Structure 1
Amino acid sequence: MAKSATPRDETAKLSRGFGWLAVLGVILVLAGLVGLVYTGVATLTSMVLFGWLLLIGGVVGLLHAVQARATNFFWLGVVVAALNIAAGVVVLKTPEAAAEALTMFAALLFLTGGLFRLVGSLVVRGPQFGWTLVQGAFGLLLGILVLGTWPSSSQYVIGTFFSLSLLFDGLGLIATGYGGRRIVGMVSERLAGDETAPGAPETGEHRAAKPVQPE
């Protein structure tokens, strides 16, 4: 008969899980720092990963469309899957050109988003007026800088954003893992204190270890 897990075993598993989460965060932080140093390599790496994601997503979508060929969404699924596969192949074959196109798209997004936020903050003047104004001005300036140096900016813009995303995600995982281990440690100490406290109920192990008094 399998032995049931005790609360102490469960807390130990949780502690190990949070520890591995922190280790993953450290790896992501290191990858983000390396990517910020070698932005060109990070840009090409992110484009290759993006191409493979499109390709795999297109293949999976095509398989789902074939499985659902009796429905009305069969041809729509086939078209979307074919577009994803074609885009993935193009990105994998020409990652530099894909990086230039995505950089142009990102610059236009920064420009339009910053402009809308800037104008909206001046028109509405809500409680977050100052913060929205700063965000709009920053997005507009970033879009102008990226667009003004395009296509040379495509060599580092995508890689910089990708590396910063890895860096901040890693820091978040480290904070989550460290905080989780602290909470689990506090719970473990509380459980240990309850077990050793006077008048605490005896478990099956304690009763088995307790010697039997002769009558």
Structure 2
Amino acid sequence: MARSAKVRGEAAQLRRDFSWVAALGVVLVLAGLVGLVYTGVATLTSMLLFGWLLLIGGGVGLLHAVQARGSNFFWLGVVVAALNIAAGVVVILRPQAAAEALTMFAALLFLTGGVFRLVGSLVVRGPQFGWTLVQGAFGLLLGILVLVSWPSDSQYVIGTFFSLALLFDGLGLIATGFGGRKIVGMVSDRLAH
């Protein structure tokens, strides 16, 4: 009897925890949808967030390097921290230019990834040949589309990618939350009997 009550109590706590995971997923989905409507604002927000993360990471790295000043990696830590701080300052002061640079970088990644997937799928012809071919073609097409509209659409591209990432991460958390609640219910019912 005591074991059954303990199992029910722990199961109820796990269900609440999974509910919080699902709630966070809903927040991320809403943020992603808002970002897709206001992609320019999402781009600016993501660039400023990225700049501040670089700046804070550089500051923490510099403090860590100072604490390890007797080691062989002191100067490497100082240089990496200084580069992070400098990049953070540039991104914060010039978010539009940073968005243009990151958009170009993303386009080149899509292009090269698409070409490698296309060529790899044609050369290897493995069991996932069709999917790899489609992925490669999609990456190549996406890279070309981003490059054709660069730099004018740079203010929208990063925000769109950022918002889509929030949206899909949120959907994943919602699925995890509801699935976790269901599994906890099934397991706790079996253990309680």
Same fold (TM over 0.5): yes
What residue number does 1:137 align with?
A: 137
Q: Using the alignment, how far apart are the partners of 2:18 and 2:131 within structure 1? A: 35
What residue number does 2:57 align with?
A: 57
Aligned residues: 189
Name the stretch that deviates more: 140-149 or 179-188.
179-188
Alignment partner of 1:122 is 2:113: no
Q: Using the alignment, how far apart are the partners of 1:56 and 1:9 within structure 2? A: 41
Structure 1 residue 56 displacement after superposition = 0.9
Structure 2: tracts of 5 or more residues without a match: none
Q: Using the alignment, how far apart are the partners of 1:68 and 1:51 within structure 2? A: 25
Structure 1 residue 110 displacement after superposition = 1.0
What residue number does 1:26 align with?
A: 26
What residue number does 1:203 align with?
A: none
Q: Using the alignment, how far apart are the partners of 1:186 and 1:124 within structure 2? A: 44
For 2:163, the aligned partner's letter is S
Give percent identity, aligned residues only.
Answer: 85
Q: Deviations for 1:84-139, whole angstroms, at most 9, x for unmatched residues?
A: 01100110111111000000111111111111221222222222222111111111
What residue number does 2:157 align with?
A: 157
For 2:65, the aligned partner's letter is A
Q: Using the alignment, how far apart are the partners of 2:150 and 2:59 within structure 1? A: 33
Structure 1 residue 191 displacement after superposition = 4.7
For 1:169, the aligned partner's letter is D
Q: Using the alignment, how far apart are the partners of 1:48 and 1:131 within structure 2? A: 36
Q: Which structure is richer in relative contact order (CA contacts within 8 A, separation 6 or more)?
A: 2
SS of equivalent to 2:153: helix
Alignment partner of 1:17 is 2:17: yes
Name the stretch that deviates more: 49-58 or 115-124.
115-124
Q: Using the alignment, how far apart are the partners of 2:19 and 2:134 within structure 1? A: 38
Alignment partner of 1:86 is 2:77: no
SS of equivalent to 1:156: helix
**TM-score of the aligned structures, taking structure 1 as reference length:** 0.84
Alignment partner of 1:44 is 2:63: no
Identify the structure with the greater helix proportion. 2
Q: Deviations for 1:50-98, whole angstroms, at most 9, x for unmatched residues?
A: 1111111111111111111111000000000000011001101111110
Q: Using the alignment, how far apart are the partners of 1:183 and 1:135 within structure 2? A: 33
Q: Using the alignment, how far apart are the partners of 1:133 and 1:149 within structure 2? A: 25
What residue number does 2:76 align with?
A: 76
Q: Deviations for 1:7-59, whole angstroms, at most 9, x for unmatched residues?
A: 22211211110011110000000000111111111111111111111111111
Q: Using the alignment, how far apart are the partners of 1:111 and 1:169 within structure 2? A: 24
Structure 1: tracts of 5 or more residues without a match: 195-215
